[in-house]
Structure 1
Amino acid sequence: MTARPFDPASFDPKDPDPWLALHLDDSLPFDDKAKAALLEGNRSYARRFLLPASRPFIFVFFVLVKIFRRVFRTWPHAPKTLHKLIFWGLKTFARPEANLLILRHFNIGTEILAFIKANVPGVEITSHPLRPMTLEDLKDNTFLQHDLNIYNFIIELNRGLRAQGREIETPERIDFSPISDGDFDLEAFPDKWHNFVDVQTAVEFYTPVYALFLSDHDFVRAANSLQLDETIGIYLARILGSDYHMSLINNHHPMVPLSTFQAGFRLMMHGYDAEALHGHLRQMKRRQAVEDAMAGGCQDGDPARQPAQVP
């Protein structure tokens, strides 16, 4: 499964396709398939018509859930039921492009945390990698564990650094081995007539459902975790010795929590942030490989072994 292609040959100067322009633009370090999947969803009927028409009803449902949670703060707490509902909904209604982006997100999130861990040696961090390759894998509390992973990682990392009187520093040689450079081996997703919902519409619909089936404490914690994108970006800046990628981050100021009513949109931006950061790390990994190859060629003194330039 891949998103439908954007054909440059279809360009009409009198009626330029805005989605084609964004697809061809390379100002952001986005994976090509992920970008095509996101843009294909953006120009779909569901995103352009169903989502705006549904937002008032989603908001009312969200308000009712919040009122309910003022009274019943811990009941119901049914993460397994929640994940089964998410699995069923994605399998039944989500576009293949939406499912691609969702499964990619857990994999690239795991790689970003593993990259930080690999470049901060001497600190013990318990890992719980998430590598869903099928929609069935999501039923194993994947969404909830994703939120727990980020908080546990930050606590264990900083607790270890404080105990040693250290800070995150740029290593002599950055270890890019945790960052993969290729497609993830994901399953072929359902693509029937009823698989029409784009990723943002799915996220907006599921946000109040998430709030209903998790305790109030767990939902608020999950919503606030979205603002930790900035924190992860700062860790990466200290490792890379550059803050260029900070301009790619949209979720900020985690110590000033935003309203949980904004969680749906911020979740979309969280996915956007993760894709951009992962893409940036992939670019740097490729650059390091080229520099290593060039250094090896120069040492051998054989011009024929010099690598071609990689964009």
Structure 2
Amino acid sequence: MDVVSASTQAPIQAPIEPLPLQSDLNPYLPEPHDRRNPNAWDALYVDQAIPVDLIAKGYMIRDLRNWTRSYLLLPIAFIANVLLAIIMTVKRLLPFQFSNYTLMHRSAAWFLNTFASPEACYLIVRHICLGSNIVNFLIDNGPDPTIEKSKLYPSTINDLAENAFLEHDLILYNFVLDYSKAQRENPHWIQQVRERGLSFDSIKPVQVNIDFTKRRWLRILDLESSIELFKVFYSLCLTSDEFERAVLSLEFDENFGCYVSALTGDYNWNHVITNRHPLAPESSFSSARNLMLHGIISEYLHRYLELRKEMAVSGKG
């Protein structure tokens, strides 16, 4: 598929996908439509204005309907932000900095396995895999295809104990720096992409192995509540600069959207990116909410690339 100008590229039209029946692979089944009492979550699930993988979307809806999000999120966020303020202040005042990546990641795996719902665990592991697919797609079609690609593809929560969160951030930053350097060194790279066409080999299915059948009584926390709690420990186990770098990584969604649009020539979908203006970064106290948005935007972007791949295979792109 050749790169075309933004002015001639028509907006991508997602095919209307049939809604799946509920099963182990299709986690959400809408209720019968009651016109006098419509279900808001069903409407959110069946709406396809913004394409999202339906299995992932089913787990998202189940996570959003978790009672802990309704009743515990606000007090958890308040307590977490008070603790975060104390930790950040103390670490800035100390004459030395300290970090412990091993403790951080093993604690994260233990916390998620012990307290987070299976839906939250699924979405966290999947997000890291989607990030690797997107980075690798940009490298395959970028100014220097020899840039080191991501090999970070966890499939279980225990896999996250192997420094997965730190590696996820390092992959992003090293990619941005390498990609920018390659753009400067090869100013005509877009023309080369036009000549060879886009490769979608890196946009591949991801394998996530989370056991939804064993629900221990403590594994109740929704995704955002889990992130609010763990960001406190995250800040404790990183130096001040490393924690700031991790928070700033959430500000690159708009950049990645523009990277993809430069390749496809399609800027019509970028309005779905809400994490904008990277030169005006959000506060660290908003990091849990911004991480939620980052995960959703990654789902949008990955599904968009899957649809472009289907178009290219069918000869319509």
- Does TM, scored on the shorter chain, surpass 0.5? yes
The 3 A distance-change label for structure 1 pair 48 and 17 is same
CA–CA distance in 1 between the matches of 2:73 and 2:282?
22
Q: What residue ranges of structure 2 are gaps of 5+ in the alignment?
A: 1-23
Pick the structure with more helix per residue: 1
Q: Give 2:17's aligned residue.
A: none
1:5 equivalent in alignment to 2:28: yes
SS of structure 2 residue aligned to 1:154: helix
Q: Give the structure, 1 or 2, with the largest relative contact order (CA under 8 Å, sep 6 or more).
A: 2
Q: Give 1:228's aligned residue.
A: 252
Q: Give 1:171's aligned residue.
A: 194
The 3 A distance-change label for structure 1 pair 167 and 174 is closer
Match of 2:102 among 80, 91, 114: 80
AA at the equivalent of 1:116: L
Contact 2:116 2:226 in 1 (8 A): yes
Q: Give 1:246's aligned residue.
A: 270
Please show how residues 12-51 of structure 1 align to structure 2 within 5 Å.
Answer: 12-51=34-73
1:96 equivalent in alignment to 2:134: no
The 3 A distance-change label for structure 1 pair 121 and 56 is closer
CA–CA distance in 1 between the matches of 2:95 and 2:147?
31
Kindly state the Cα deviation for residue 61 of structure 1 after the two structures are TM-superposed: 1.0
- TM-score, scaled to structure 2: 0.86
CA–CA distance in 1 between the matches of 2:245 and 2:95?
13
1:66 equivalent in alignment to 2:88: yes
The 3 A distance-change label for structure 1 pair 167 and 73 is farther
Contact 1:3 1:97 in 2 (8 A): no
Match of 1:270 among 294, 297, 305: 294
- 1:205-250 deviation line (CA, Å, top 9, x unaligned): 1112211110000000110111111111111001001112311211
Match of 2:180 among 155, 158, 169: 158
Contact 1:124 1:157 in 2 (8 A): no
AA at the equivalent of 1:236: V
1:184 equivalent in alignment to 2:207: yes
The 3 A distance-change label for structure 1 pair 74 and 161 is farther
Contact 2:143 2:182 in 1 (8 A): no
**Count of residues in Structure 1 that have an aligned counterpart in Structure 2:** 291
Kindly state the Cα deviation for residue 290 of structure 1 after the two structures are TM-superposed: 1.9
The 3 A distance-change label for structure 1 pair 84 and 59 is same
Kindly state the Cα deviation for residue 123 of structure 1 after the two structures are TM-superposed: 4.7
- 1:109-163 deviation line (CA, Å, top 9, x unaligned): 0000111111125453122321001111101111011111111001111112212
1:119 equivalent in alignment to 2:141: yes
Moved more, 113-122 or 88-97: 113-122
**Coordinate RMSD, CA, aligned:** 2.0
CA–CA distance in 1 between the matches of 2:96 and 2:135?
30
Q: Give 1:219's aligned residue.
A: 243
CA–CA distance in 2 between the matches of 1:133 and 1:204?
23
Q: What residue ranges of structure 1 are gaps of 5+ in the alignment?
A: 296-311
Percent identical across equivalent pairs? 30
The 3 A distance-change label for structure 1 pair 61 and 73 is farther
Kindly state the Cα deviation for residue 63 of structure 1 after the two structures are TM-superposed: 1.3
CA–CA distance in 1 between the matches of 2:74 and 2:26?
23
Contact 1:227 1:254 in 2 (8 A): yes
